[in-house]
Each structure stands twice: as structure tokens, then as C-alpha cells.
Amino acid sequence: MKEETLKGWHLIWWLFTLFGFPITIPWLIYHFFDIMQRKRRKSMLSGKVVIITGASSGLGEALAHIFYDCGCKLILISRRKEELQRVKNDLMNIHVTIPTHPPVIVPLDLTNINSLQTEVSKMIDIHGKIDILINNAGISYRGEVVNTNMDVDIKVMLTNYFAQIALTKAVLPYMIQQKSGHIICVSSIQGKISIPYRSAYAASKYALQAWCDCCRAEMYDQNIKVTTVSPGYIRTSLSQNALTGNGKIYGVMDKNTQEGYSPEYVADRILKAVLKEEKDVFIAPFIPKCAVYLRTLCPSLYFWIMQKRAKKAKES
């Protein structure tokens, strides 16, 4: 019995030597150098000027903590001044050892598009530059296509698409002048695939994704990076604050949202994307990722699955 066990271990060791080492050693070397490179780039973030929209709660608040911890000079944007002040106080009280400037809070409704150029000019006056813009602000939606008022479609598109690109366009000339910059747009997995009863939301995220793909190509020679981040469900109040077809607040925390990623996890993944200068980032479980490829490789099957999902959701 002992001899058989010994032979079994010899076989396992032989297989590992034959197949394991050629895979493991290069992976460990790559992983080591990747960690070293990220540490070096993270240290280079110190002193960078970072604008974060939707910074008063949820993912935006988590992003504020993670970039402040890197020594960045933050400009935090949201409509809610009191909540922005709370986030600022938390940053300065929690990260007391971080050598950086006090965060600047800018109470601002991004849908007032015509005011954004003036507001960005004021931000430039504060620190003299803008290194990173994180377009995180957004609004969600729940409703049927046929019963949704056009005012709702317009409001969702205005918030999730037009406001984002208007702010980016106001920032880009300064980045072009300084020959550097990084734009991060928080999209959604629904910017890749749409699901029933999310039409206005998915449409706005699809549009944002397409615009970023064009901007990335056009800004390449200007040394301006563009990253789109497509997360799945995140445990925030996004679904609670979602608009319904008649413009009222949805007011419900979806089960999928409750079971979603923590804002801190997604924020950390976005930081890694910035450090590695990734272009298109998925932060989603296995099944949603498969659905993206299914939509491309076998659209008829994907459409059939969505039809079944829509029917099931309507009956429940």
C-alpha cells in the first residue's frame, strides 16, 4: 500500500515537473514584474490631479478613498454638497498620514452642460492641471419600452452620456496642451449587452462605450489614455434611485444589486486599470462575460434567452 502511494506521488511530481514548471515559473516571473511595475506607477500617482464625478456616495466615494490614499489631489463633484463635505471630512480623518492636499469639493449638476466649460476653468485655476478624469456619475432605469415616457429616455441619456462627454470635452483641451491625461468612463456590462427592462440605461451606456472607442483612437497621438470600465452589479443605491417609466423613483434594492461587488473592490480594480493603462475593463462574473461573447458569436441564441428572460420577469 505504501509503495502504491509512493508511486502515486512520484507520478504527480513527474507530471508537475513536465507540465507545471514550464507554466508556473514564467507566470511567477511575470507576476513579480507586474507587481513591481504597478508599485512604481502607483508611486507616480502622488500629486496627480484627479476629478471624480458622483463622488458623494457608492463607487465614487470608494474611488475618492483609493486615489486619495495614493497621494492624489482630488476634485470631487456631485450635486449633494453636504454629502461631498462628509466624504471630504472622512478622507482627511481616515487618511491622516497621507501627504496630499485637502480634497476640493464642487457641488455641480453635470446635466447643466453649458456651465461645464466655466466650471472646468475654475478647477484648472486651483491646481493648474487635470491629470485624470473619472466619469462615474450616472442614473439607472427600470421600465418597459412601450410604457416609458420620452422625458425619461432623454433624462437618462443626458445624465449618462451627454453630461459625461461634455465634461470630457471641456477637460480634453487642457490635457492636449500638457500632452498627457487619462479619461476613465464607468460604463456597465449593459454597455456591452442589454437586458429586458433596462432600455434607456443600456442605450446610454452603449453610446458612452462607442464614444470612448472613438476618443481613444483620436487621442492616441496626444498621449491621452481612455479607459472604459464595464462592471456588473455593485452594492450601491443605484437601483434604489433608478427612474421608472413614468419618471418616479424605483425605490427598491434589487437582489442582484444586493449580491453585487462591493464598491471598494470595483474601485481597486479601476485603480489597477489606471496603473496598467488598460483600455477596456470587464468587472463581471463568468456568466455575464459569457453572454457578451454569446451576443457576438451566436446572436440568435442570445436573443432567444433574452426573450425568455423578459417573459419570466413580466410574469413574476
Q: Catalytic amino acids?
A: 201
Q: Running DSSP on this structure, what letter comes out for residue 250?
A: -
Cell of 124: 484648472
CA atoms within 13 A of residue 29's CA, in its CB half-sphere = 6
Q: Which residues contact residue 277 at a Cβ distance below 8 angstroms, ignoring those fewer than 6 apart?
A: 182, 225, 227
**Pairing label, strands 280-283, 243-244:** unpaired
Burial of residue 236 (CB within 10 Å: 0-12, 13-18, 19+) is buried
Rounded to whole angstroms, the Cα distance separating 225 from 219 reads 7
Residue pair 73/47 in contact by the 8 Å Cβ criterion = yes
Length of the chain: 316
Pick the closest to residue 54 from 212, 243, 278, 263 (CA basis). Answer: 263
Rounded to whole angstroms, the Cα distance separating 274 from 268 reads 10
Q: Which residues contact residue 198 at a Cβ distance below 8 angstroms, ignoring those fewer than 6 apart?
A: 140, 141, 142, 190
DSSP 115-144: GHHHHHHHHHHHHS---EEEE-----EE--
Rounded to whole angstroms, the Cα distance separating 183 from 180 reads 10
